Structure 1
Amino acid sequence: MNRPPSTFVAVFCTKEVVIAAIALVGIGLHLILRFGPGAIDTVLGFPAHAVPLFVALAGGVPLLLGLARHLARREFSADLLAGVSIVTSAVLGEYLAGTLVVLMLSGGQALEAYAVRRASFALEALARRMPSRAHRKQDGAVTEIPLESVAVGDLLVVFPHETCPVDAVVAEGHSTMDESYLTGEPYVLSKVVGSAVLSGAINGNGALTIRAEKTAVDSRYAKIMQVMRESEQRRPALRRLGDQIGAVYTPLAVALALIAWAASGEAQRFLAVLVVATPCPLLIGIPVAIIGSVSLAARRGIIIKDPAVLEKIDTCRTAIFDKTGTLTYGHPELTEVLPGDGFTRDEVLAAVASLERYSRHPLATATIAAAGKTGLKLADAAEVSERPGEGLRGTIGGRAVQVTSRKKLVAQSPTFAATLPPLSGGLECVAQIDGQYGATFRYRDEPRAEGKAFIGHLKPHHGFDRVLLVSGDRESEVRYLAEKVGITEVRAGQSPEQKLALVREETKKAGTVFLGDGINDAPALTAATVGIAFGQGSDVTAEAAGAVILESSLERVDELLHIGKRMRAIALQTAIGGMALSLIGMLLAAGGYLPPVAGAVAQEVIDVGAVLNALRASLTPRVLTDFKTTR
């Protein structure tokens, strides 16, 4: 499995950084050769001081090819002005001016690449934990093989404290595994024969023999890396705001340059206007504002995976929330155990809690905690199975125990329908012991204390027109939460496919923010204008989201909304203010008062001002959120 390059190599050895370095060195050599002592006059008949600039301009050819591809697709963005300026300066022999523009353009693109790479640093660190080899057990012998050679059905040995290489099922042995890197849940789970194990989980003190259920490329870790590679190859719309402004600014600048040329008859004025017009407040200022906001968000425990989130979030007008783990704490508590005939509460609770120790289901923790409060002694399982559609099965103390849903139990044995207690408004599961109805377990996941204030805060303070609650849970449970937090629009019983369809439909009408934390939220997170995931959810969810809130807190969500709004305001100030100054310079250049090189220097001064203003986005404001004051 290919590992990503180190962060240093990925950030500082990109095409854009190399081109910027060549331009910077070229300008430096030019100044030394032209003004330094003992300067060389000519090289192969050319002025010596111009040679470094030839090289620097040649280094900008990849940038021009990229701009040509955009032009072929009829994408007219602000950086096209920079491309026209580079070509014109080369034709007119204004090599220094052209090299300065190459430096500006490549510098802005390098900053953009840096923002993207910084956002994916945590994922790279996670990917580096993946082993490159596995220990295959065959005919009683253990041999080391490349990870790519693992086949479905292979028996593999995972030694103590090693990382599990593929998704598999335990065939022999007993140990524990830390899956917190994958699930976000800070628990160490016991593993016995029949337990499922995930690639990337860290083994405990015991050796395990596992049977591979997926190859390395299909396992959980490989999915993370695949999403990483796709996200790196997909250019995020970092300059979406800049491109929108540039769509108006670019033709205006070109028209003014053509008028200056036609009126004066001097091609130099055409170049001078374009050099001053080069929209570096867009090419550099906006990426700097984005990087600063990404840094500020990271200090607040908010990971911005797609920097375009910061541009889009303030334009969204519909907020859609999943229920469990977002507006609730995601930690349901066991409120009732209703035993069946022939069973006692403690008997069933002890058996089910013993089995739930081997499950990652959200209700498992609540069951184990309830058994612990009661002081019940839990037993080890002889074997465990938790396959989709079958619920959780295992053998506890020689008895067959199954934990599943009411719907699945009735479908499996219709006679149980009359035995089960009536539905309530909360969450539930049912248990079978030796084929007999054992008990119904009822749970309640309470709303977050700040939920009602946060929902009431969205419309007046962030401009949302609609707020929806969407969940796969039953209507009664979803309505209960909606009333508690003040949401009137509810969609209950929604499958992942239905959530996805709903988000797509709402996104067509207006920009959408979707907040979720479960694997079933991943498709909706991807389809939303802005997808926000709580960090306690799954790795798949975090991959699908544009922003990840490491601390499950609605206050952090409010901070993200404010950071995005502030970033957009600073970016607009930087862009419009910088271009207003550029417009003054363009008029001076059109009148012949600014030659190309002087225009390039003037543009650099404007750039410094734009960058300094954009850097404000990285500073923590006195008030980052006004959410607390509304509680």
Structure 2
Amino acid sequence: MKVTIKAQSKNRVRLEVPFRCTAAVQLYLEEEKRLFPEIMQIICYKDEKHIAFTFETGHESSVYRFLDHLEVTTLNEKQRDFTVDDQVTPVDIVASHIYRKLVAKVLIPQPLKIFWLLWKMKKFGKAAFESVLEKKLSMSILDFVAIVTSMAMGDHKTADTIMFLLNLGDDLDEWSQKKSVEDLEKNLKNNIYELWIEKDGERFKKLSHQVEVGDVFVATEGQEIYFDGTVVSGRGFLNESSLTGEAFPVSKKIGDTVFANTVVEQGELLVKVTNAEQNSRLQQIVQLMKTSELHQSKQQKQLLEKADGLVKYNFIGMAVTYLLTRSVQKALTFLLVDYSCALKLSSPVTYLTAIKAASTRGIVVKGSSSLDEYPMIDTYVFDKTGTLTTGVPKIQKILPYLGYSEEEVLRIAACLEEHIYHPIASAVVQKAEDDGVEHEEMHGKLTHVASKGILSSIDGEKVVIGSLELLNEHHVEISEEQARIIEEYTQWYHLLYLGYKGKLIAIFLIDTPLRPETIEVLQSLKERGKNIILLTGDTKKRTESICSLIQFDEVYTEVKPEQKHQVVQDLQAKGHRVFMIGDGLNDSAALSKANVGVVMASSSDIARQASDIVFLEETLSGILVLDDISAQLQKQLGRNLNTTVWVNTSLMGLGLFNVLTPSTLAVFHNLTTTVIIGKSFTYIK
């Protein structure tokens, strides 16, 4: 089977496959995987084209043997064997409108068509009336006047066509706003996984869509948890960064609650299912996102406000022309020579040019609405871990004791930790590499104690590295001074302990460092008069270090995903325009609610889905780049506006004094629009 490798590591590979990974195909893959025990997990992506395989180290070939094992005829059958849902497409929307229009044309008698058109007009009349109540001359009023004028002149066909196109545009716009979140919700429910279930001391496999409340599943090291539950046996450390945003594993023991969409970093747990809804935490966040989408879809876009602000000049021009010429035809010419036409046609080109320029500089802008909002942003909300910091644990300081040097204790620690796959172990090994410390094998048999650390020996003497609990269990002596230091630094860092010959010989202080550009970017925002807010799941103590370097206007610590969403909502309720930047699942709802939501390159899939903008490079400097592009965009939009007003005002004046005929005015108007569009293609260097 011909496949394309998209990404690969020592025990994981992501492939593009030549078949569709439908729900039926996923079931087939899980059934056949049982013949290949070295393949630990198969994940089918929502685009139905990519599959990720997790396998035991050294068994990459099993993946390709597995794919070759699959029956092509069975795959073809399974690709067809899926339920077609009632998902509406743009083609369906267009076809539905055309069908209704044809049915009305055929079935409604000619004498009744006038009443049919009047009934259809009420929607546009209502929108125009609401604009009048708001004391605004908007495009809604201009549309309604065009419909009424056509009806008054007996041109029923034109009035019907105008209403048809406007209704079609509204439905297509509503479809595009809802589709993204609905597709995400559907795919979260359809993903199928295989779990080990334990019952009466025996273990057997079960597919995730068959799991029930009360089932006890086995969560082993490296495995993602798909259901909320309670630990009934075992002990381990869970990476909850997808929910809290924090990289440090959280200890779990009997009686503790575990949540869906977290990952077992160390140990093995038996978890009793308390909620059989798969990916329940994701589902909750999606519901918040759907609410946010509906809220945002009602916001008036800046472009329409500018166009609405110019509508009055069309009415003034029409009225003045009729008063001076008594010619209805000439007065109606001002529907052809209007201000909004050039703006509405050139502005999308201007936005596309800005989006393209951003893309070449490592920024993906999903739509023009976020660029509309950006100039009005007054409040910047930042997640901490993975956003202001790198998200990767790093050794900040080493405290050696009993005459040992930093190099000696680092050599011992790296020698032991290089055998373990864990963020903290990786930080130790990376520190040794950065400092040029070689660490050849010097230890005896190594024992990994789940969730606690490592036991071994050096020169016949016991060596222990890991948690304070592990050192206490093996009676490693800790002096009063060391105990005082531990109590102090625990509030600020994650601590790793190294014991040798029964005594504590080193403490490693670990934290996630700030990105090098963080302070510069935040200070730049402060200088521009912006509010900056820190919103993090980390503790207050561990947040104090960053707060000592940067003066935030507000700081929120130990917040959950729903609380982040609420903070953004409260800021908006106070009249603020909010820019939110994060990277994890825990930020997704807040990102969706913010006026502009931005994620970093390594963010979770759902965070990318919720965001308006993605920084492809792992740097906060993208904010300054975005600021520059936005400024150029606003400048060009201003030039477009000024040119449109100046030229079209001149044309209206020439029309008033009969210098140009209506047809000539239309030609010059369209020519001006074309020139403005052409300039909009090239304004960003």
- Is TM > 0.5 for Structure 1 vs Structure 2? yes
Corresponding residue to 1:420 among 481, 485, 510: 485
Match of 2:528 among 454, 464, 469: 464
Where 2:493 maps in the other structure, the secondary structure is strand
SS at match of 1:216: coil
Q: 1:66 to 1:611 in 2, by over 3 A?
A: farther
Distance of 1:601 and 1:108 partners within structure 2: 26
| Alignment equivalent of 2:508, drawn from 441, 451, 465 | 441
Aligned partner of 1:388 in structure 2 is none
Find the counterpart in structure 1 of residue 354 from structure 2: 293
- In structure 1, the residue matched to 2:78 is none
Higher relative contact order (CA 8 A, sep 6+): 1
CA deviations on 1:188-239 (whole Å, 9 max, x unpaired) are x9x9999999867999xxx998754544366244346445544554444786
The equivalent of 1:560 in structure 2 is 626
In structure 1, give the amino acid aligned to 2:546: V
Q: Who is 1:429 aligned against? A: 494
Deviation at 1:311, TM superposition (A): 1.9
Structure 2 letter corresponding to 1:465: G
Match 2:191 to one of 117, 120, 131: 131
Q: Report the CA distance between 1:437 and its aligned residue.
A: 9.2
Cα 1:156/1:291, change in 2 over 3 Å: farther
1:495 maps onto 2:557 in alignment: yes
- Determine the structure 2 residue equivalent to 1:87: 148
| Matched residue SS, 1:558 | helix
In the other structure, the counterpart of 1:244 is 305
Deviations 1:471-494 (A, max 9, x none): 7554762256x2xxxx5x346974
- Give me the whole-angstrom Cα distance separating, in 2, the residues matched to 1:429 and 1:515: 25
Q: How far did residue 293 of structure 1 move?
A: 3.1
Matches within 5 A, 1:358-373: 365-367=426-428, 369-370=430-431
User: Which residue number in structure 2 is paired with residue 331 of structure 1?
Assistant: 392
Residue aligned with 1:277, SS = coil
Deviation at 1:310, TM superposition (A): 1.0
**Which ranges of structure 1 fall in alignment gaps of 5 or more residues?**
27-42, 385-392, 405-414, 623-631
Q: For residue 477 of structure 1, what is the aligned residue in structure 2?
A: 545
Change (3 A) 1:473 1:493: farther
Distance in 2 (CA, whole Å) between partners of 1:235 and 1:594 is: 44
C-alpha separation in 1, matches of 2:603 and 2:176: 24
Secondary structure in 2 matching 1:569: helix
1:320–1:515 Cα contact (<8 Å) kept? yes
Given that residues 219 and 269 in structure 2 are in contact (C-alpha distance below 8 angstroms), is that contact kept between their aligned partners in structure 1? yes
Give the equivalent residue in structure 2 for 1:629: none
CA distance in 2, matches of 1:616, 1:60: 42
- TM (norm. structure 1) is 0.61
Query: Are the aligned partners of 2:365 and 2:614 in contact in 1 as well (CA < 8 Å)?
Result: yes
Shift of 1:131: 1.2
Change (3 A) 1:5 1:428: closer
1:257 matches 2:318: yes
Partners of 1:400 and 1:504 in 2: CA distance: 46
Matched, 1:216 2:283: no
**RMSD, matched Cα:** 6.6
Separation in 2 of the partners of 1:534 and 1:423? 33
Worse overlay, 296-305 or 58-67: 58-67
Q: Confirm or deny: 8 A CA contact 2:354 2:633 kept in the other structure.
A: yes
d(CA) in 1 for partners of 2:208, 2:490: 51
SS across alignment from 2:485: coil
Task: Give the partner amino acid of 2:313.
Answer: L
Q: Distance in 1 between matches of 2:342 and 2:176?
A: 17
Q: Following the alignment from structure 2 to structure 1, what is the Cα–Cα distance between the partners of residues 246 and 411?
A: 28
Stretches of structure 2 lacking an aligned partner (at least 5 in a row):
1-21, 24-44, 49-86, 457-461, 470-479
Alignment of 1:171-570 (within 5 A): 211-212=272-273, 214-216=275-277, 219-223=280-284, 225-226=286-287, 229-230=290-291, 232-236=293-297, 240-261=301-322, 267-268=328-329, 271-277=332-338, 279-305=340-366, 307-316=368-377, 324-338=385-399, 357=421, 365-367=426-428, 369-370=430-431, 374=439, 383-384=450-451, 402=467, 419-421=484-486, 423=488, 427-430=492-495, 440-443=507-510, 445-451=512-518, 454=521, 464-466=528-530, 468=532, 470=534, 472=540, 474=542, 477-478=545-546, 482=549, 487=550, 489-490=551-552, 494-495=556-557, 513-517=579-583, 530-538=596-604, 542=608, 545-570=611-636
- The Cα shift of 1:442 comes to 1.1
Tell me, what secondary structure is at the counterpart of 1:536? coil
Q: CA deviation at 1:564?
A: 1.8
Cα deviation digits, residues 319-355 of structure 1 (max 9, x gap): 56555544543434214354899x9967995899699
Q: 1:599 to 1:224 in 2, by over 3 A?
A: farther
Q: What secondary structure sits across from 1:329 in the alignment?
A: coil
Q: Bigger CA drift: 105-114 or 578-587?
A: 105-114
What code does the residue aligned with 1:464 have? R
Moved more, 606-615 or 84-93: 606-615
Change (3 A) 1:379 1:616: farther
Are the aligned partners of 2:455 and 2:465 in contact in 1 as well (CA < 8 Å)? yes
Give the CA deviation at 1:559.
1.9
More moved, 274-283 vs 600-609:
600-609
Structure 2: distance between partners of 1:99 and 1:600 = 23
Contact 2:234 2:269 in 1 (8 A): yes
Q: How many residue pairs align between the two structures?
A: 558
Cα deviation per residue 1:243-276 (whole Å; 9 max; x = unaligned)?
3323432233334434545665555455443454
Q: Write the distance in 1 (CA, Å) between the matches of 2:171 and 2:350.
A: 14
What secondary structure does 1:551 align onto?
Answer: coil
Contact between 2:414 and 2:428, CA under 8 Å: does it hold in 1?
no
Cα distance, 1:157–1:275 mapped onto 2, change above 3 Å? farther
Q: Secondary structure at the match of 1:562?
A: helix
- Kindly indicate whether the alpha-carbon contact (under 8 Å) linking 1:164 and 1:198 is maintained by their aligned counterparts in 2: yes
The letter of the residue matching 1:244 is E
Call closer, same or farther: CA 1:474–1:208 in 2, change over 3 Å.
closer
User: Relative to structure 1, is the Cα distance of residues 422 and 101 closer, same or farther in structure 2, using a 3 angstrom cutoff?
Assistant: same
- What's the CA shift for 1:495? 1.4
Structure 1 contact 425–476 (Cα < 8 Å) conserved: no
Mean CA deviation greater in 492-501 or 221-230: 492-501
Q: Cα–Cα, structure 1 residues 529 and 136, in superposed 2: closer, same or farther, change >3 Å? A: same
Distance 1:580 1:22 in 2: 43
**1:90-169 maps to which residues of 2 (within 5 A)?**
90-94=151-155, 98=159, 127=187, 130-131=190-191, 147=209, 150-155=211-216, 166=227
Code of the residue aligned with 1:131 in structure 2: it is N
Amino acid at match of 1:289: T
